[in-house]
Amino acid sequence: MTYDCHYCEQETESAHTITLYDKTGVEDRLEVLCDNCYEEWLLSLRG
Ligand SMILES: [Zn+2]
């Protein structure tokens, strides 16, 4: 089974599920990222 990466929209077999929050921090949703986008997302969290 493959997933569509939320950022680059490419199919990935090693999906990383992340939780995104809206500006209020209340509502959230699950998104799937590929390896590369997941690494970049982790880096962006650390600033
Ligand atoms: Zn990606």
Q: For residue 29, which phi and psi values (nearest 5 degrees)? A: -150, 155
Distance (Å) from CA 30 to ligand 1 centroid: 15
Distance (Å) from CA 40 to ligand 1 centroid: 9
Distance (Å) from CA 14 to ligand 1 centroid: 10
d(CA 17, CA 32) in angstroms, rounded, equals 5
First to last CA, the chain: 33
State which residues of the chain have pLDDT below 70.
Answer: none
Place of tokens 């949703």: 29
Distance (Å) from CA 27 to ligand 1 centroid: 23
Neighbours of 17 (CB within 10 A): 11
Distance (Å) from CA 39 to ligand 1 centroid: 10
pLDDT for residue 26: 85
